[in-house]
Amino acid sequence: MVVVLLGPPGVGKGTQAVRLVDDLSAAHVSTGDLLRAARREGTELGNLAQGFMDRGELVPDDLILDLVKEHLIGIGASRDVIFDGFPRTTDQATGLDVVLETSGRKVDTVVLFEAPDDVLVQRLSGRRSCPDCGAVHNAYFSPPAVEGVCDRCGGTLQHRADDEPDTVKRRLQVYLDQTAPLIAFYEDHPGTMTRIGADRDVEAIYAEFNSAVTGSSEGVS
Ligand code: AP5
Protein backbone atom coordinates (compact mmCIF):
# COMPACT_ATOMS: atom_id res chain seq x y z
CA MET A 1 0.00 0.00 0.00
CA VAL A 2 1.23 3.48 -0.90
CA VAL A 3 -0.17 6.41 1.10
CA VAL A 4 0.44 10.13 0.46
CA LEU A 5 -0.11 12.67 3.24
CA LEU A 6 -0.96 16.16 2.05
CA GLY A 7 -1.47 19.31 4.09
CA PRO A 8 0.09 22.63 5.05
CA PRO A 9 3.13 23.08 7.31
CA GLY A 10 2.35 22.34 10.95
CA VAL A 11 -0.92 20.52 10.30
CA GLY A 12 0.44 17.36 11.96
CA LYS A 13 1.47 15.15 9.03
CA GLY A 14 4.64 13.99 10.77
CA THR A 15 2.88 13.42 14.11
CA GLN A 16 0.23 11.24 12.48
CA ALA A 17 2.63 9.49 10.09
CA VAL A 18 4.86 8.21 12.89
CA ARG A 19 1.89 6.54 14.59
CA LEU A 20 0.65 4.82 11.45
CA VAL A 21 4.16 3.74 10.52
CA ASP A 22 4.47 2.04 13.93
CA ASP A 23 1.05 0.36 13.64
CA LEU A 24 1.60 -0.92 10.08
CA SER A 25 5.38 -1.46 10.28
CA ALA A 26 5.45 0.66 7.14
CA ALA A 27 8.31 2.73 5.75
CA HIS A 28 8.10 6.46 6.52
CA VAL A 29 9.39 8.66 3.70
CA SER A 30 9.56 12.28 4.88
CA THR A 31 11.48 14.38 2.36
CA GLY A 32 11.86 17.10 5.02
CA ASP A 33 13.58 14.62 7.37
CA LEU A 34 15.76 13.27 4.53
CA LEU A 35 16.82 16.81 3.57
CA ARG A 36 17.60 17.76 7.18
CA ALA A 37 19.70 14.58 7.51
CA ALA A 38 21.56 15.49 4.29
CA ARG A 39 22.25 18.96 5.73
CA ARG A 40 23.57 17.53 9.00
CA GLU A 41 25.85 15.16 7.05
CA GLY A 42 27.01 18.03 4.81
CA THR A 43 26.31 16.14 1.57
CA GLU A 44 26.14 17.93 -1.80
CA LEU A 45 22.33 17.66 -1.71
CA GLY A 46 22.26 19.04 1.83
CA ASN A 47 24.34 22.04 0.78
CA LEU A 48 22.19 22.65 -2.31
CA ALA A 49 18.97 22.39 -0.29
CA GLN A 50 20.02 24.67 2.57
CA GLY A 51 19.17 28.05 1.03
CA PHE A 52 15.76 26.91 -0.22
CA MET A 53 14.82 25.45 3.16
CA ASP A 54 16.03 28.47 5.12
CA ARG A 55 13.92 30.75 2.90
CA GLY A 56 10.87 28.48 3.27
CA GLU A 57 10.89 27.65 -0.44
CA LEU A 58 10.69 24.30 -2.17
CA VAL A 59 13.85 22.44 -3.11
CA PRO A 60 13.89 21.88 -6.92
CA ASP A 61 11.85 18.94 -8.19
CA ASP A 62 14.74 17.10 -9.89
CA LEU A 63 16.75 16.98 -6.64
CA ILE A 64 13.72 15.74 -4.69
CA LEU A 65 12.78 13.06 -7.22
CA ASP A 66 16.37 11.73 -7.28
CA LEU A 67 16.38 11.66 -3.47
CA VAL A 68 13.09 9.75 -3.30
CA LYS A 69 14.06 7.27 -6.05
CA GLU A 70 17.30 6.44 -4.27
CA HIS A 71 15.55 6.07 -0.93
CA LEU A 72 12.86 3.77 -2.36
CA ILE A 73 15.50 1.33 -3.63
CA GLY A 74 16.51 0.67 -0.03
CA ILE A 75 12.89 0.11 1.04
CA GLY A 76 11.94 -2.53 -1.54
CA ALA A 77 8.76 -2.91 -3.57
CA SER A 78 6.70 -5.04 -1.18
CA ARG A 79 6.65 -2.79 1.89
CA ASP A 80 3.86 -0.33 2.71
CA VAL A 81 5.09 3.25 2.28
CA ILE A 82 3.78 6.44 3.89
CA PHE A 83 4.92 9.58 2.04
CA ASP A 84 4.94 12.61 4.34
CA GLY A 85 5.53 16.03 2.74
CA PHE A 86 6.06 14.48 -0.70
CA PRO A 87 4.93 15.06 -3.41
CA ARG A 88 4.61 18.84 -3.12
CA THR A 89 4.20 19.84 -6.78
CA THR A 90 2.32 18.30 -9.68
CA ASP A 91 5.67 17.50 -11.35
CA GLN A 92 6.71 15.57 -8.24
CA ALA A 93 3.35 13.75 -8.23
CA THR A 94 3.63 12.68 -11.88
CA GLY A 95 7.26 11.72 -11.22
CA LEU A 96 6.14 9.54 -8.31
CA ASP A 97 3.57 7.79 -10.51
CA VAL A 98 6.31 6.94 -13.02
CA VAL A 99 8.66 5.62 -10.33
CA LEU A 100 5.93 3.48 -8.72
CA GLU A 101 4.83 2.09 -12.08
CA THR A 102 8.27 0.56 -12.65
CA SER A 103 7.56 -1.77 -9.71
CA GLY A 104 3.87 -2.30 -10.54
CA ARG A 105 2.66 0.00 -7.77
CA LYS A 106 0.50 3.11 -7.53
CA VAL A 107 -0.68 5.66 -5.00
CA ASP A 108 -3.57 3.89 -3.23
CA THR A 109 -4.70 6.48 -0.69
CA VAL A 110 -4.23 10.22 -0.26
CA VAL A 111 -5.07 11.85 3.05
CA LEU A 112 -5.44 15.63 3.19
CA PHE A 113 -5.12 17.18 6.65
CA GLU A 114 -6.65 20.63 7.05
CA ALA A 115 -6.55 23.30 9.79
CA PRO A 116 -6.85 27.12 9.89
CA ASP A 117 -3.68 29.21 9.48
CA ASP A 118 -3.75 30.61 13.04
CA VAL A 119 -3.66 27.04 14.41
CA LEU A 120 -0.72 26.16 12.13
CA VAL A 121 1.23 29.27 13.16
CA GLN A 122 0.77 28.53 16.85
CA ARG A 123 1.78 24.87 16.47
CA LEU A 124 4.93 25.78 14.55
CA SER A 125 5.93 28.49 17.02
CA GLY A 126 5.71 25.90 19.82
CA ARG A 127 7.33 22.97 18.00
CA ARG A 128 10.47 21.55 19.58
CA SER A 129 12.18 18.77 17.60
CA CYS A 130 14.80 16.26 18.67
CA PRO A 131 17.63 16.13 16.12
CA ASP A 132 18.83 12.82 17.61
CA CYS A 133 15.70 10.61 17.44
CA GLY A 134 13.27 12.72 15.39
CA ALA A 135 10.65 12.98 18.18
CA VAL A 136 8.48 16.10 18.00
CA HIS A 137 7.21 17.93 21.09
CA ASN A 138 5.26 21.13 21.47
CA ALA A 139 5.82 23.80 24.10
CA TYR A 140 2.05 24.50 24.23
CA PHE A 141 0.35 21.20 23.49
CA SER A 142 2.74 18.37 24.43
CA PRO A 143 5.62 19.80 26.48
CA PRO A 144 8.49 17.48 27.44
CA ALA A 145 8.73 16.45 31.11
CA VAL A 146 11.93 18.48 31.43
CA GLU A 147 12.09 21.71 29.43
CA GLY A 148 14.45 21.44 26.46
CA VAL A 149 15.06 17.70 26.91
CA CYS A 150 13.61 15.00 24.64
CA ASP A 151 11.30 12.61 26.57
CA ARG A 152 12.19 9.78 24.21
CA CYS A 153 16.00 9.82 24.12
CA GLY A 154 17.24 12.63 26.41
CA GLY A 155 18.56 14.67 23.44
CA THR A 156 18.53 18.47 23.36
CA LEU A 157 15.34 19.78 21.77
CA GLN A 158 15.61 22.44 19.05
CA HIS A 159 13.32 25.04 17.53
CA ARG A 160 13.61 24.62 13.74
CA ALA A 161 15.05 27.74 12.07
CA ASP A 162 12.29 27.58 9.42
CA ASP A 163 9.66 27.76 12.20
CA GLU A 164 10.49 31.46 12.76
CA PRO A 165 7.39 33.60 12.00
CA ASP A 166 8.55 35.19 8.71
CA THR A 167 9.62 31.85 7.26
CA VAL A 168 6.38 30.22 8.40
CA LYS A 169 4.45 32.93 6.52
CA ARG A 170 6.47 32.17 3.39
CA ARG A 171 5.97 28.40 3.77
CA LEU A 172 2.21 28.84 4.06
CA GLN A 173 2.17 30.93 0.86
CA VAL A 174 4.35 28.40 -0.96
CA TYR A 175 1.93 25.67 0.13
CA LEU A 176 -1.01 27.60 -1.36
CA ASP A 177 0.80 28.41 -4.61
CA GLN A 178 2.64 25.17 -5.33
CA THR A 179 1.23 22.31 -3.26
CA ALA A 180 -2.51 23.03 -2.91
CA PRO A 181 -2.99 22.37 -6.69
CA LEU A 182 -2.23 18.72 -5.83
CA ILE A 183 -5.65 18.48 -4.18
CA ALA A 184 -7.33 18.74 -7.60
CA PHE A 185 -4.66 16.47 -9.09
CA TYR A 186 -5.42 13.70 -6.61
CA GLU A 187 -9.20 14.21 -6.78
CA ASP A 188 -8.91 13.20 -10.46
CA HIS A 189 -6.41 10.42 -9.75
CA PRO A 190 -7.29 6.74 -9.38
CA GLY A 191 -7.35 5.80 -5.68
CA THR A 192 -9.12 7.45 -2.79
CA MET A 193 -8.70 10.86 -1.22
CA THR A 194 -9.93 11.57 2.32
CA ARG A 195 -10.06 15.02 3.94
CA ILE A 196 -9.49 15.08 7.69
CA GLY A 197 -10.07 18.09 9.92
CA ALA A 198 -6.84 18.39 11.90
CA ASP A 199 -7.79 21.15 14.34
CA ARG A 200 -8.57 18.51 16.97
CA ASP A 201 -6.98 16.27 19.50
CA VAL A 202 -4.17 14.04 18.13
CA GLU A 203 -6.01 10.85 19.19
CA ALA A 204 -9.28 11.80 17.47
CA ILE A 205 -7.43 12.65 14.26
CA TYR A 206 -5.50 9.39 14.39
CA ALA A 207 -8.65 7.29 14.77
CA GLU A 208 -10.08 8.80 11.57
CA PHE A 209 -6.74 8.65 9.77
CA ASN A 210 -6.13 4.98 10.61
CA SER A 211 -9.61 4.07 9.52
CA ALA A 212 -9.27 5.99 6.21
CA VAL A 213 -6.06 4.12 5.39
CA THR A 214 -6.77 0.63 6.69
CA GLY A 215 -10.55 0.64 6.31
CA SER A 216 -11.04 -0.45 9.90
CA SER A 217 -11.09 0.98 13.40
CA GLU A 218 -8.81 -1.80 14.65
CA GLY A 219 -5.27 -0.92 15.68
CA VAL A 220 -6.32 2.47 16.98
CA SER A 221 -4.80 2.99 20.37
P1 AP5 B 1 8.94 19.55 6.02
O2 AP5 B 1 9.81 19.14 7.11
O3 AP5 B 1 8.23 18.52 5.19
O4 AP5 B 1 7.91 20.61 6.60
P5 AP5 B 1 6.34 20.83 6.37
O6 AP5 B 1 5.63 20.09 5.30
O7 AP5 B 1 6.31 22.29 6.24
O8 AP5 B 1 5.70 20.18 7.54
P9 AP5 B 1 6.09 20.34 9.00
O10 AP5 B 1 7.16 19.36 9.36
O11 AP5 B 1 6.37 21.78 9.32
O12 AP5 B 1 4.68 20.02 9.72
P13 AP5 B 1 3.86 18.68 9.96
O14 AP5 B 1 2.60 18.78 9.17
O15 AP5 B 1 4.69 17.46 9.77
O16 AP5 B 1 3.50 18.90 11.49
P17 AP5 B 1 4.07 18.19 12.80
O18 AP5 B 1 3.52 16.81 12.93
O19 AP5 B 1 5.54 18.37 12.93
O20 AP5 B 1 9.73 20.46 4.98
C21 AP5 B 1 10.66 21.46 5.39
C22 AP5 B 1 11.29 22.10 4.18
O23 AP5 B 1 12.02 21.10 3.40
C24 AP5 B 1 10.32 22.72 3.15
O25 AP5 B 1 9.95 24.05 3.51
C26 AP5 B 1 11.14 22.65 1.85
O27 AP5 B 1 12.11 23.66 1.81
C28 AP5 B 1 11.86 21.32 1.99
N29 AP5 B 1 11.10 20.20 1.43
C30 AP5 B 1 10.63 19.11 2.12
N31 AP5 B 1 9.99 18.26 1.28
C32 AP5 B 1 10.05 18.83 0.04
C33 AP5 B 1 9.54 18.44 -1.24
N34 AP5 B 1 8.83 17.30 -1.41
N35 AP5 B 1 9.78 19.27 -2.28
C36 AP5 B 1 10.49 20.41 -2.13
N37 AP5 B 1 11.00 20.84 -0.96
C38 AP5 B 1 10.76 20.05 0.13
O39 AP5 B 1 3.32 19.10 13.92
C40 AP5 B 1 3.68 20.47 14.09
C41 AP5 B 1 3.62 20.81 15.60
O42 AP5 B 1 2.25 20.70 16.03
C43 AP5 B 1 4.40 19.83 16.49
O44 AP5 B 1 4.96 20.55 17.57
C45 AP5 B 1 3.33 18.84 17.01
O46 AP5 B 1 3.68 18.34 18.30
C47 AP5 B 1 2.09 19.73 17.07
N48 AP5 B 1 0.84 19.02 16.78
C49 AP5 B 1 0.62 18.10 15.80
N50 AP5 B 1 -0.67 17.69 15.80
C51 AP5 B 1 -1.28 18.39 16.82
C52 AP5 B 1 -2.61 18.42 17.32
N53 AP5 B 1 -3.60 17.67 16.79
N54 AP5 B 1 -2.89 19.25 18.35
C55 AP5 B 1 -1.91 20.03 18.90
N56 AP5 B 1 -0.62 20.04 18.47
C57 AP5 B 1 -0.31 19.23 17.43
User: DSSP assignment of 55-94, as one string?
Assistant: HT-PPPHHHHHHHHHHHHHHH-TTS-EEEES---SHHHHH
Instruction: Give the residue whose CA is nearest to atom 27 of ligand 1.
Output: 53
Domain 2-214 has CATH 3.40.50.300: yes
Confidence of residue 217 (pLDDT cuts 50, 70, 90): low
Residue 25: band (very low, low, confident or very high) from pLDDT cuts 50, 70, 90:
very high
Mutate to test the pocket of ligand 1, among 130, 136, 152 (most ligand atoms within 8 A of CB): 136
Ligand 1 atom at minimum distance from 163 CA: 11
120 CA distance to ligand 1 middle (Å):
10
pLDDT, tens digit (0-9, with 9 covering 90-100), for 91-130: 999 999 999 999 899 999 999 999 999 999 999 999 999 8
Rounded CA-CA distance 33/71 in Å is: 12
Q: Which atom of ligand 1 is nearest to the CA of 113?
A: 14
Query: Whose C-alpha lies nearest to ligand 1, atom 12?
Result: 10
**Distance from Cα 8 to the centre of ligand 1, integer Å:** 7
Whether 10 lines ligand 1, by a CB cut-off of 6 Å, is yes
Query: Model confidence over 144-176: pLDDT tens digits?
Result: 999 999 998 999 999 999 999 999 999 999 999
